[in-house]
């Protein structure tokens, strides 16, 4: 990847366009802005495509029936709603808040206080890139529990790249009243993607999800249409060719084929997501992440609002010395699919590079400090839990085989997995650890998906201590650090009771002291 030369078209536009803010912007009677009219060309087409299944089924299946009109009516309403959204939506930025009005028949008005805005996320999907447009998502620090475009988020879909850039600067850098900049402010580069990092892509197993989803979709579709893909002529002929070969060759070649396919897809996914990845710091104290080949994303995180970072090392990635870096900050979208990884600070990269970036972003590298290990009793808990879950699975599979619902091999495989469970349990214990480094609390858990969280102590909104019946017998507790960002809470699992309380007391000085006794 050549990150330096190719800025996305949206950003190129924003860099060249002179950002001239009307004098009235940010005052009580700021002018209203509307969505870009070119969305009128995009939105109806997309709405039409989206309602195509309904329309098609209504026209084909329900030909001549009255309810084909329902399908058509449905589509018309969808398209009209889209058009009215583009036409009626308007927004303005006053001194204290961002106001948003939309709707023709059902009018909605929303206002977000400007001092609540934590992140501004600029996304350019293929539909936007056609006209160099971008969708701007304005996120507040509140942790939204719901899904979708939640209450705590304002989506301006879409404006020109230059306007998106202007909104970003205006909303995040309000402290510095430099609205008459000639060009984009100078940024310092913290990290950019390296072509060699592609070697980590197959170990992220992201391709596995794609293969799984595709197979699932094909199966579901075939099932819906009552047709068995196995009986299809080409499939039959391929299966026929393999009839003479022994089973283990088929299994082996299938596994190798799957591995190659997954690797290729993972590499493709890596390129799509992290093409031109750049992590920069703007002088006003904002981290700025830009990435993506077809859908470009640009996420800004106020450093003041950064509550910490997470180093994520899934087992395959960890084995080859790679890791991912994620920001713990409020207002980032922690959704599914394309929304996932809103807080990504570094794609799968060498662990050494990850630690350099941590040191750069936080000013120190708390993850470099050796962590305090947890008591031995935690090891028994880890191993017994891992063993128990596999044993229960094996027993269930055995029972299913016993009532002739399943063949015998699933439970045999589960029994073979028992030693693996012990290994995983042991590794889970080995990875458990915590430390208090400067103003950061570091905690590490997990084996198959190891996660080292670094949380700023002053970002904790209290302390939660948990103790199950079994932990009580072992003299262990779980200390939970609630944070208004990221996952919402970070656990220090199975720490000794006295140690855990001392840790919590040190992390939140004075808070626990009146409730502690010796």
Residue 215, Cβ density class (10 Å: 0-12 exposed, 13-18 middle, ≥19 buried): exposed
Q: Segment contacting other proteins (CB under 8 A): 23-31, 126-134, 293-301, 499-507?
A: 499-507
Binding string, 327-356, against other proteins, x = CB under 8 A?
Answer: ---x--------------------------
Q: Which of 463, 492, 493, 507 binds other proteins (CB under 8 A)?
A: 463
Please state the separation of Cα 104 from the chain's center in Å.
Answer: 34
Taking the C-alpha atoms of residue 407 and residue 417, their distance in angstroms, rounded to an integer, is 17
Contact 451, 468 (CB under 8 A): no
Which residue in 317, 328, 436, 492 binds other proteins (CB under 8 A)? 436
**Using alpha carbons only, how large is the chain's radius of gyration in Å?**
27
Contacts made by residues 461-465, CB under 8 angstroms, sequence distance 24+: 462/508, 462/511, 463/504, 463/507, 463/508, 463/511, 463/512, 464/489, 465/500, 465/501, 465/504
Among 90, 353, 439, 467, binds other proteins (CB under 8 A): 467
Using the minimum distance from each CB to other proteins, give the nearer residue, 210 or 422: 422
- Report DSSP state, residue 363: S
Contact between 463 and 512 under an 8 Å Cβ cutoff? The reply is yes
Give the residue from 280, 279, 329 showing the smallest Cα distance to 302: 329
Contacting range for other proteins; rule: CB under 8 A; set: 45-53, 68-76, 249-257, 372-380: 372-380
Find out whether 207 and 266 touch, Cβ atoms under 8 Å: yes
Nearer to other proteins, 418 or 465 (CB): 465
**Apex 277 CA angle, 271 and 278, nearest 5:** 170
Which listed range, 85-93, 148-156, 230-238, 488-496, lies at the site for other proteins (CB under 8 A)? Answer: 488-496
**DSSP one-letter string for 128-147:** HHTTTEEEEEEEESS---S-
- Secondary structure letter of residue 299 according to DSSP: E
Which neighbouring-strand residues pair with 133? Answer: 160
34 binds other proteins (CB under 8 A): no
Applying CB under 8 A, among 101, 143, 199, 439 the residue interacting with other proteins is 143
To other proteins, the closest distance from the beta carbon of 472 in angstroms equals: 8
Nearest to 418 by CA among 437, 454, 391: 391
Site residue total, other proteins (CB under 8 A): 53
Per CB under 8 A, the list member of 373, 396, 401, 410 interacting with other proteins is 373
Select 272 or 516, whichever has its Cβ closest to other proteins: 516
Of 170-178, 313-321, 446-454, 468-476, the segment contacting other proteins by CB under 8 A is 468-476
Closest CB 408 distance from other proteins, rounded Å: 30
- Residues 376-395 touching other proteins, rule: CB under 8 A, are 376-377, 379
The C-alpha atoms of residue 225 and residue 96 are separated, in whole angstroms, by 56
Site string for other proteins, 98-137 (x = CB under 8 A): -----------------xx---------------------
Among 2, 63, 107, 145, binds other proteins (CB under 8 A): 145
98 phi/psi in degrees, rounded to 5: -100, 125
Span near other proteins by CB under 8 A; candidates 71-79, 212-220, 336-344, 485-493: 485-493
Task: Write down the least CB distance from residue 99 to other proteins, Å.
Answer: 20
Among 292, 308, 375, 425, binds other proteins (CB under 8 A): 375
CB of 5 to other proteins, least distance (A): 39
| Residues 6+ away with beta carbon under 8 Å from 28 | 94, 95
State whether residue 109 is helix, strand or coil: strand
Contact string 282-321 vs other proteins (x = CB under 8 A): -----------------------x----------------
Interface residues with other proteins (CB under 8 A)?
115-116, 141-143, 145, 305, 330, 370, 372-373, 375-377, 379, 434-436, 461-469, 472, 475, 480, 482-485, 487-489, 496-499, 501-502, 505, 508, 510-512, 514-518
């Amino acid at each position: 990847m050549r990150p330096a030369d190719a800025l996305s078209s949206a950003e190129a536009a924003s860099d060249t366009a002179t950002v001239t803010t009307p004098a009235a912007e940010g005052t009580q009677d700021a002018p209203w802005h509307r969505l870009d009219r070119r969305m009128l060309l995009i939105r109806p087409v997309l709405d039409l495509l989206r309602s195509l299944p309904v329309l098609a089924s209504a026209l084909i299946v329900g030909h001549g029936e009255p309810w084909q009109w329902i399908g058509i009516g449905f589509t018309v309403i969808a398209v009209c709603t889209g058009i009215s959204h583009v036409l009626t939506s308007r927004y303005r930025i006053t001194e204290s808040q961002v106001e948003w009005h939309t709707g023709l028949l059902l009018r909605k008005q929303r206002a977000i206080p400007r001092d609540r805005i934590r992140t501004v996320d600029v996304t350019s999907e293929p539909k936007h890139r056609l006209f160099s447009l971008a969708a701007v998502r304005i996120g507040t620090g509140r942790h939204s529990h719901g899904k979708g475009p939640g209450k705590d988020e304002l989506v301006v879909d879409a404006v020109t790249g230059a306007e998106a850039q202007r909104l970003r600067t205006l909303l995040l850098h309000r402290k510095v009243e430099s609205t008459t900049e000639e060009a984009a402010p100078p940024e310092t580069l913290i990290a950019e993607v390296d072509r060699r990092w592609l070697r980590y892509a197959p170990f992220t197993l992201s391709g596995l999800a794609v293969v799984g989803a595709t197979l699932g979709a094909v199966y579901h579709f075939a099932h819906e249409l009552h047709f068995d893909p196995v009986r299809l002529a080409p499939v039959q002929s391929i299966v026929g060719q393999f009839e003479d070969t022994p089973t283990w060759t088929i299994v082996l070649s299938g596994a190798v084929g799957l591995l190659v396919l997954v690797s290729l897809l993972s590499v493709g996914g890596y390129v799509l997501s992290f093409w031109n990845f750049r992590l920069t710091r703007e002088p006003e104290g904002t981290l700025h992440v830009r990435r993506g080949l077809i859908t470009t994303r640009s996420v800004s995180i106020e450093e003041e609002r950064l509550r910490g970072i997470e180093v994520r090392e899934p087992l395959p990635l960890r084995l080859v010395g790679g890791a991912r870096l994620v920001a713990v900050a409020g207002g980032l979208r922690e959704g599914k699919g394309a929304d996932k990884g809103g807080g990504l600070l570094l794609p799968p990269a060498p662990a050494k590079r990850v630690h350099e970036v941590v040191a750069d972003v936080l000013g120190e590298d708390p993850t470099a400090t050796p962590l305090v290990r947890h008591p031995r009793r935690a090891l028994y808990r880890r191993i017994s839990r891992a063993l128990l879950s596999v044993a229960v699975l094996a027993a269930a599979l055995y029972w299913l085989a016993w009532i002739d619902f399943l063949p015998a091999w699933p439970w045999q495989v589960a029994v073979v997995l028992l030693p693996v469970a012990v290994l995983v349990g042991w590794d889970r214990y080995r990875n458990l650890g915590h430390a208090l480094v400067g103003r950061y609390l570091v905690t590490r858990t997990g084996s198959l998906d190891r996660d080292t969280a670094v949380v700023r102590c002053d970002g904790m909104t209290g302390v939660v201590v948990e103790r199950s019946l079994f932990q009580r017998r072992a003299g262990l507790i779980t200390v939970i650090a609630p944070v208004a960002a990221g996952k919402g809470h970070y656990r220090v699992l199975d720490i000794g009771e006295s140690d855990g309380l001392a840790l919590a007391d040190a992390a939140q000085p004075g808070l626990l002291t009146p409730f502690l006794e010796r």
